[in-house]
Chain A
Amino acid sequence: MNKTINIAPTSRVEGHGKVSLQLNESGELIDARFHVMEFRGFEKFCQGRKVWEMPRITTRACGICPISHHLASAKACDDLFGVQIPLTAQLTRELLHMGQIVHSHALHFYYLAAPDFLFPGLEAKRNVLGVNEKSPDLVKQAIELRKMGQESNQIIGGKAIHPVTALPGGISKPLTHEEVQTLKGYFQRALDLSLSGLSLAKNIFDDNREFILNYANLNTNFLGLVKKGKMEMYDGNLRLINPHGETLEEFNPSSYLEHIGERTEDWSWLKFPFYKKQGWPDGIYRVGPLARINAADEISTPKANELLHEFREKYGRYPGHTLLFHYARLIETVYAAERALEILDDSNLITNNFRQKLKIQGGEGVGVIEAPRGTLIHHYEADDTGSITKANLIVSTIGNNPSMNQAVLEVAKDHIKGGEEELSEEVFNRIEMAIRAHDPCLSCATHAIGQMPLHCTVYNHEGKKVSEHVKD
Chain B
Amino acid sequence: MSEEYNQVDDFFEAEKKNIDNNEEIEFPKEYQDQDESYTNESESSSEKNDDADFGNEEEPSPEESNQNKAPTRKPRLLLTALGGCNGCHITILDLHEELIDVLSKFEIVRASVIADMNRTEIPECDIALIEGAVCNKENEEVLKEIRGKAEMLIPLGSCACYGGIPGLRNYYEIDSVIKEAYIDAPSNVNKEEKLPNDYSQIPEMLKHVKPVDKVVNVDFMIPGCPPVPRVIKSALVDILEGKEPRLPTKNLCDECTRTHAEIKPGDRSFFTFKIDTVIESDLDPDKCFIEQGVLCMGPATRSGCEGRCTSAGMPCRGCMGPNPEAIEQGSEMSNAMAPMLPIGALIQKEDLAGTFYRYALPSSILPKVVKGYKDIRDYKKRNGNNE
**Contacts from A to B (Cβ < 8 Å):** 9-16, 18, 20, 33, 35-45, 47-50, 52-53, 56-57, 60-64, 66, 81, 107, 111, 115, 123-124, 126-129, 132, 136, 139-140, 143-144, 146-148, 150, 157-162, 164-165, 167-169, 172-173, 182, 185, 189, 256-257, 260-269, 271, 273, 276, 280, 355, 357-360, 379, 385-387, 390, 392, 394, 441, 443-444, 447-453, 470-472
User: Which of the residues B83, B198, B285, B351 comes within 8 Å of A50, measured between beta carbons?
Assistant: B351
User: Which of the residues B182, B278, B350, B353 comes within 8 Å of A264, measured between beta carbons?
Assistant: B182
Q: With A63-B87, A182-B52, A257-B187 in contact, do A14 and B285 touch (Cβ < 8 Å)?
A: no
- In the complex, the chain B residue whose C-beta lies closest to that of A158 is B312
- Measured between alpha carbons, how far is A264 from B192 in the docked complex, in Å? 10
B103-132 interface with A by 8 A CB criterion:
103-104, 108, 110, 112-122, 132
A15 to chain B, nearest CB (A): 5
Q: With A60-B164, A147-B96, A161-B90 in contact, do A453 and B169 touch (Cβ < 8 Å)?
A: no
- Measured between alpha carbons, how far is A172 from B190 in the docked complex, in Å? 40
Number of interface residues of B (CB under 8 A): 102
User: Which of the residues A129, A158, A360 comes within 8 Å of B314, measured between beta carbons?
Assistant: A158
Q: Beyond A127-B108, A449-B81: 4 further Cβ-contacts under 8 Å?
A: A41-B172, A63-B84, A64-B87, A164-B309
A13 lies within 8 A of B205 (CB):
no
B165 lies within 8 A of A57 (CB):
yes
- Measured between alpha carbons, how far is A447 from B86 in the docked complex, in Å? 12
Q: With A107-B93, A165-B312 in contact, do A15 and B136 touch (Cβ < 8 Å)?
A: yes
Q: Interface code B32-54, partner A: CB below 8 Å = 1, 0 otherwise?
A: 00000000000000000000101
B281 to chain A, nearest CB (A): 8
A contact residues around B165 at 8 Å (CB): 57, 60
- Measured between alpha carbons, how far is A444 from B142 in the docked complex, in Å? 21
A39 lies within 8 A of B178 (CB):
yes
B185 lies within 8 A of A146 (CB):
no
B251 within 8 A of A: no
- Measured between alpha carbons, how far is A212 from B314 in the docked complex, in Å? 47
B311 within 8 A of A: yes
B contact residues around A256 at 8 Å (CB): 187
A213 to chain B, nearest CB (A): 26
The 10 A-B pairs with the shortest beta carbon distances in the complex, nearest first, are: A63-B87, A158-B312, A172-B313, A127-B115, A261-B189, A41-B177, A63-B85, A173-B313, A45-B168, A60-B165
A161 lies within 8 A of B132 (CB):
no
A35 lies within 8 A of B201 (CB):
yes
Q: Interface code B68-90, partner A: CB below 8 Å = 1, 0 otherwise?
A: 00000000000011111111111
A63 lies within 8 A of B88 (CB):
yes
**Contacts from B to A (Cβ < 8 Å):** 52, 54, 57, 61-62, 80-91, 93-94, 96-97, 99-100, 103-104, 108, 110, 112-122, 132, 135-136, 138-139, 141-142, 145, 164-166, 168-169, 171-172, 176-178, 180-190, 194-198, 201-203, 205, 225-226, 277-283, 285, 308-309, 311-314, 317, 319, 348-351, 353-355, 358
A contact residues around B280 at 8 Å (CB): 357-360
User: Which of the residues A44, A48, A185 comes within 8 Å of B177, measured between beta carbons?
Assistant: A44
Q: With A10-B121, A157-B312, A449-B83 in contact, do A266 and B188 touch (Cβ < 8 Å)?
A: no
- Measured between alpha carbons, how far is A95 from B177 in the docked complex, in Å? 35
B contact residues around A182 at 8 Å (CB): 52
B160 to chain A, nearest CB (A): 13
B contact residues around A472 at 8 Å (CB): 110, 112, 116-119
A contact residues around B112 at 8 Å (CB): 9, 14, 16, 450-453, 472
B358 lies within 8 A of A57 (CB):
yes
Interface centre among A60, A128, A146 (most CB of B within 10 A): A60
A contact residues around B135 at 8 Å (CB): 38-40
B86 lies within 8 A of A443 (CB):
yes
User: Which of the residues B86, B89, B187, B314 comes within 8 Å of A165, measured between beta carbons?
Assistant: B314
Q: 19 A-B pairs, CB-CB below 8 angstroms? A: A13-B122, A38-B136, A43-B180, A44-B169, A45-B168, A60-B164, A115-B116, A123-B117, A129-B114, A162-B225, A173-B312, A189-B54, A357-B282, A360-B280, A390-B186, A394-B187, A443-B86, A472-B116, A472-B118
- Measured between alpha carbons, how far is A143 from B54 in the docked complex, in Å? 11
Q: With A44-B177, A143-B96 in contact, do A162 and B87 touch (Cβ < 8 Å)?
A: yes
A268 lies within 8 A of B196 (CB):
yes
Interface centre among A48, A61, A147 (most CB of B within 10 A): A147
Q: With A161-B94, A164-B314 in contact, do A144 and B54 touch (Cβ < 8 Å)?
A: yes
- Measured between alpha carbons, how far is A57 from B171 in the docked complex, in Å? 15
